[in-house]
Structure 1
């Protein structure tokens, strides 16, 4: 087998132009490099492909037969590459997916709009909710969720493995109530809690230098919708413990400020969940690749 496609391209151009110097100029190479490529192929094949003279060269019968097959092979490879580059125009169909409330309405709304522009023959059907969805009972193609799925039979494909929760509050809240100097001081603050499946998440976990700290918090409001907690935090109602992905734009813009930064928040990896690897269609794979690129940008 030949080591590269460039040697085949050199052979074809030499056969067309009949001159080493002309081929060298057209391919921005030296005549010696062109000659070496031809000799390399002839040695690998154990046959002479060109009859050389002082001024030009021509194909031998063996060379004509071989180059005809090579031209067909290169055409096939070029067509395959063109089809690969135009794959986005061929992807089509509908994807039914479930997204967390806060992430879906903010980060993912923007990303999915961009995805649809890249793949105009694709349509999306979205379920935006923090309530747990059942992939086996509901007509869903995939879920996007934080954390490790409770159902171990689901196939989990990482999107952002190093995402974690961050303690944050608005500048207005901090101006009125001050900053907690450690997670233990959260007992003195109004904390905005999230509920999932009627379970109140009011035990917030932090780590530092191998030390793990779990703090029970309380506040005057809680919700089973992550976006509601996010809005309360922006409005200055209290301190939130949110996924960094949910609030990173607000942190960057100064609408929310990080607190107790010497402590690491609890891990909150973002995953794409599907019921079976056989359901990883080209469309789902394209969506995952797109999200991986954009979320890590």
Structure 2
């Protein structure tokens, strides 16, 4: 990419952020006419209108909104490269906008992000926690940590913990009161804690043994759309949960929860780092993925 094209990208991003073409021109010490020419040149190159401009205001077109996020990512990557050349070493920096599920984010990812930031103090995080799947194209998210492959096949899913599986578990207090299920079929006699996403309740749990699948329809009085609430209910003795192992690994180690029916194989829930485009895998995101992958392996080895 030519240097002038990079300057045009910078002018576009600065104009959106400032809301003013004149302000961008003053900040870069160029004339408003030169800034306007840069935007027109960029639009001509793309064959699309990026901004709707009037004498008093400007706003992004739908095409401009999509292109803006790619510009930010590209410019951030270039800045990291320039900094690495200037310092003579690879030092990642910038803001990483991440999304994660509620329990994965709160109970697993948070301390790992703190540890990563201690190694790379120039990195900052903006973390969104929600069990709703983030729209990677319209929301300000660089990467999302998600269990299972994304339903949108156009997204890039990079494995972080490919061997992660669900674990059937309950608290010692619940098991002392209600008994220990010996096989998946016994779950019909127990209170099961169900997760709901998009109005659909996950109340059919699958187990595997000797090459055969046994799917059990479970029930109980506790259903939630927050995965961390399922975990908290299980610890409080409200019933049996079927959680991703990573989300409850520390609870199992501490004895707050007990794994059940361990002779049966459970459903796979591999953890991925999900990106809208492989080109958005910046050096900082690449290092973070490697760091979290190793942390998952360390956690598994410690069990």
Q: TM-score, normalised by structure 2?
A: 0.69
Query: In 2, distance between residues paired with 1:210 and 1:227?
Result: 32
Query: In 2, distance between residues paired with 1:83 and 1:292?
Result: 27
The 5 A counterparts of 1:1-297 are 83-84=88-89, 87=90, 90-297=91-298
Query: In 2, distance between residues paired with 1:103 and 1:158?
Result: 15
Detail structure 1 runs of 4+ shifted over 2 Å in the superposition.
Answer: none
Q: CA deviation at 1:264?
A: 1.0
Partner of 2:17: none
Query: In 2, distance between residues paired with 1:217 and 1:125?
Result: 37
Query: In 1, distance between residues paired with 2:186 and 2:291?
Result: 41
Gaps of 5+ in 2: 1-84, 299-303
Q: CA deviation at 1:254?
A: 1.0
Q: CA deviation at 1:83?
A: 4.1
Q: CA deviation at 1:219?
A: 0.5
Q: CA deviation at 1:244?
A: 0.3
Gaps of 5+ in 1: 1-79
Query: In 2, distance between residues paired with 1:91 and 1:128?
Result: 24
Query: In 2, distance between residues paired with 1:92 and 1:181?
Result: 51
Q: TM-score, normalised by structure 1?
A: 0.70
Query: In 1, distance between residues paired with 2:235 and 2:101?
Result: 19
Flag the structure with larger Rg: 1
Q: How many residues align?
A: 214
**TM-superposition CA deviations, 1:23-50 (whole Å, max 9, x none):** xxxxxxxxxxxxxxxxxxxxxxxxxxxx
Query: In 1, distance between residues paired with 2:88 and 2:193?
Result: 51
**TM-superposition CA deviations, 1:147-179 (whole Å, max 9, x none):** 011000001100000100000000000000001
